[in-house]
């Protein structure tokens, strides 16, 4: 009887797709080392990198039906992991933008709610999703300055040059966008984002 660890990646993937957990465990043993190192190039924190590694394998297990066994498994796993890294970076960027947008962190909502810090990625993801949805609902003349300055990191002058308006107009529109977002969002969403781990 052939041991799973002796099979080629394609054979392991086919077996795992049929529900063979031992085959998928062999895939994980074979690829977890280099995949973790790949993730670490994108994520500074070791614990975050380990979390993303686990999330990547969970996603890979769920997506095996779509894996083309004629293609290298390494490239497929790398793409999944890269998407997970980008998701984490996006959540972090939106979280940091929320901190800047609403002045959270040093006082206010974050301090009032530190005792109930979000301990679930799902809870934070939901809050981030609601913030993103609220940003998407802003009028274009408010959304564009906000995204360029708070998410893309451009100065008011740089954003104004892109939008064909002056820096003061950008500042005014960002202020109005922040006020609208504060009205659209539940304070608990902001506290979840503020108190979540980076």
- Using only C-alpha atoms, the chain has a radius of gyration, in whole angstroms, of 21
Same domain, residue pair 179 and 114: yes
190 and 120 both lie in a single domain: yes
126 assigned to some structural domain: yes
**pLDDT tens for residues 38-62?**
999 888 788 889 999 999 999 999 9
Using an 8 Å Cβ cutoff, are 147 and 162 in contact?
A: no
Q: 7-40 in b/e burial notation, b at 16+ Cβ within 10 A?
A: bebeebbbbbbeeeeebbebbbebbbeebbebbb
Q: How many domains does the chain have?
A: 2
CATH number of the domain where residue 23 is located: 1.10.1740.10
Together in a domain, 125 and 163: yes
DSSP 48-67: HHHHHHHHHHHHHHHHGGG-
Q: What is the pTM of this model?
A: 0.56
Please state the separation of Cα 21 from the chain's center in Å. Answer: 28
Tokens 């708070």 belong to 150
Let me know whether 143 and 110 are in one domain: yes
Q: How far is CA 25 from CA 9, 31, 49, 90, 163, in A?
A: 12, 10, 19, 30, 52
**79-82: long-range pairs with CB below 8 Å, 24+:** 80/56, 81/35, 81/38, 81/39, 81/52, 81/53, 81/56, 82/42
What is the reported pLDDT for 30?
Answer: 96
What domain range includes position 132? 103-195
Q: What is the pLDDT along the chain (198 residues), one digit of tens a residue?
A: 357 667 899 999 999 999 999 999 999 999 999 999 999 988 878 888 999 999 999 999 999 999 999 999 999 999 999 989 888 877 777 777 666 666 554 444 444 443 344 445 566 667 777 787 888 899 999 988 988 888 777 899 999 998 999 999 999 999 999 889 888 877 665 555 555 544
């Amino acid at each position: 009887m052939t041991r799973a660890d002796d099979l080629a990646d394609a054979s392991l993937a086919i077996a795992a797709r049929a529900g063979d957990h031992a085959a998928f465990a062999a895939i994980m043993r074979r690829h977890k080392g280099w995949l973790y190192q790949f993730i670490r190039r994108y994520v500074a924190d070791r614990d975050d990198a380990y979390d993303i590694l686990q999330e990547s394998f969970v996603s890979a297990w769920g997506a095996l039906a779509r894996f083309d066994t004629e293609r290298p498994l390494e490239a497929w796993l790398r793409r999944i992991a890269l998407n997970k890294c980008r998701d984490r970076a996006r959540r972090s960027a939106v979280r940091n933008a929320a901190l800047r947008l609403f002045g959270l962190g040093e006082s206010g909502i974050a301090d009032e709610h530190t005792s109930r810090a979000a301990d679930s990625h799902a809870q934070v993801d939901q809050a981030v999703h609601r913030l993103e949805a609220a940003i998407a609902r802003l009028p274009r003349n408010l959304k564009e300055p906000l995204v360029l300055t708070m998410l893309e990191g451009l100065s008011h002058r740089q954003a104004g040059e892109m939008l064909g308006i002056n820096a003061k107009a950008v500042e005014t529109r960002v202020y109005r966008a922040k006020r609208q977002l504060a009205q659209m969002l539940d304070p608990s969403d902001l506290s979840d984002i503020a108190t979540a781990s980076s």
